[in-house]
Chain A
């Protein structure tokens, strides 16, 4: 029972850190998926007096992925009843070219402005519609969500580090006596530290397993899947192998650092 209690305190502290980190990972993954979706729906409309090729558009900005000329047939067909065929031909020749540009990622408002300015460097381009007002609102909303998650993670991280440093002092006192006794009987440093490292690594693995299991269960619930699906995100927000390895690495590193600090701070008592 005492042994479980000894493990419990570090496991809880590690779990809190891993939980906050995993929330950050999952949130970023969901936001990235949403950004990809938004980027695929987002486009810039360009009006030009001359033909512009895909290659030419790409030369204006590396963010431009594709360009597609929009057909003017629909507008012209509406006018066909009132205008003669000859005039329609003239109208077709006189009409500017319309292009829809798709971007290779979800841009920032600044990047949109840069793209717009670059396009206007071509004197034949008369209008660029970037829908920046609507776009900026969505972008700011996502940015707010990201910032809130980061602040939340940072806060939990700081609180947990304080919790761990307190735990560390308790560990220092608890293990100092054993390390001291072992030292008096000639145990080399690695042997004196072995118990501590074993304990730290076992706790790290337990904390990682608990966190991974919890997030796996949460990610598989109908409610979460329905929520994500409703905003068009159809990806696995928790990747068991990738996230599991990340959690194990983070918790193991943290507990090894903790154990190392104890060992570095250890001095033989007289």
Chain B
């Protein structure tokens, strides 16, 4: 299998004095399911941010799908992001848009046909069991429902990779189970690369996965 992510000696920090990731190297295979774990403040979310180009590297090289992120133009970065689905811990739903429009966001950005987009939105909303809530606004939903909307948005455009930051962090058991099931399904059926930042790897997972652990700024592969 090809590597979709190749990191060589990457260092990350929010300010130059405080290094969070220090000269780490790792690879993530295309179509794989990967967990990134670590203690709170270890740099899991920081690493994930660098994977979608929201945080620049201090040093090293990071290749996503063969494109070096530090040298990428904003046009190419937009194109890259259009092919990635991101699930955030704080959901990042647009409050003034209803559920249907929120889920449609990647399809609007991708310039898809409106009718086809609507069909696709209702298909994924059906997967996350929220078809009946499509006209509601994010603030009218529970945390679990909002995260399921965010999950539907990440799946809507059939991305090549899904990056999820603590997707089940604050969720009830039902919503958490549903999220893991959807991520597994996307990985198994659509061969989507899944990268999940989490504190705990669920026991119920049936899929084969890789495990990267961050400690003291270094990244280890756990067998």
Interface locus among A14-22, A49-57, A182-190: A182-190
Interface residue A270 (Cβ < 8 Å from any Cβ of B)? yes
Q: Are B79 and A178 in contact (CB under 8 A)?
A: no
Q: Which of B75, B80, B86, B96 contacts A178 (CB 8 A)?
A: B96
For chain A, residues 148 to 190, give those with C-beta under 8 angstroms from any C-beta of chain B: 177-178, 180-188
- Chain B, residue nearest A268 (CB): B54
A185–B92 alpha-carbon span in the complex (Å): 11
A184–B78 alpha-carbon span in the complex (Å): 8
The number of residues on chain A lying at the interface, defined by a beta carbon within 8 Å of a beta carbon of chain B, is 16
Q: Which of B55, B81, B105, B153 contacts A270 (CB 8 A)?
A: B55
B27 CB, nearest partner CB in chain A, Å: 24
Chain A residues whose CB sits within 8 angstroms of the CB of B30 once the complex forms = none
Interface residue A239 (Cβ < 8 Å from any Cβ of B)? no
Q: Which of B55, B81, B96 contacts A185 (CB 8 A)?
A: B81
Chain B residues whose CB sits within 8 angstroms of the CB of A188 once the complex forms = 75, 78
Q: Are A181 and B94 in contact (CB under 8 A)?
A: yes
Q: Are A185 and B94 in contact (CB under 8 A)?
A: no
Q: Are A184 and B75 in contact (CB under 8 A)?
A: no
Q: Are A186 and B80 in contact (CB under 8 A)?
A: yes
Chain B residues whose CB sits within 8 angstroms of the CB of A178 once the complex forms = 94, 96-97
Chain A residues whose CB sits within 8 angstroms of the CB of B55 once the complex forms = 270
A270-B78 contact given A178-B94, A185-B105, CB 8 Å threshold: no
Chain B residues whose CB sits within 8 angstroms of the CB of A268 once the complex forms = 54
A186–B160 alpha-carbon span in the complex (Å): 14
Interface residue B82 (Cβ < 8 Å from any Cβ of A)? yes
Interface residue B109 (Cβ < 8 Å from any Cβ of A)? yes
Interface residue A245 (Cβ < 8 Å from any Cβ of B)? no
A270–B54 alpha-carbon span in the complex (Å): 6
A270–B92 alpha-carbon span in the complex (Å): 13
Q: Are B92 and A191 in contact (CB under 8 A)?
A: no
Q: Are B94 and A186 in contact (CB under 8 A)?
A: no
- Chain A, residue nearest B85 (CB): A185
A105–B49 alpha-carbon span in the complex (Å): 71
A185-B82 contact given A268-B54, A270-B54, A270-B55, CB 8 Å threshold: yes
A151–B49 alpha-carbon span in the complex (Å): 53
Q: Are B109 and A191 in contact (CB under 8 A)?
A: yes
Q: Are A181 and B92 in contact (CB under 8 A)?
A: yes
- Chain A, residue nearest B106 (CB): A185
Find the residue from B49, B55, B80, B105 having the highest chain A CB count within 10 A. Answer: B105
Interface residues in chain B, defined as those with a beta carbon under 8 Å from any beta carbon in chain A:
14, 49, 52, 54-55, 75, 77-84, 86, 92-97, 105-106, 108-109, 153
List 5 A-B pairs, Cβ < 8 Å: A177-B94, A187-B78, A191-B108, A270-B14, A270-B49
In the A-B complex, list the 6 residue pairs whose CB atoms are closest, starting with the nearest: A186-B81, A186-B82, A186-B78, A187-B109, A178-B94, A181-B92
Additional 16 contacts, C-beta under 8 A, given A178-B94, A186-B82: A2-B96, A3-B96, A178-B96, A180-B92, A184-B54, A184-B81, A184-B86, A185-B81, A185-B82, A185-B105, A186-B77, A186-B79, A186-B80, A186-B109, A187-B78, A270-B49
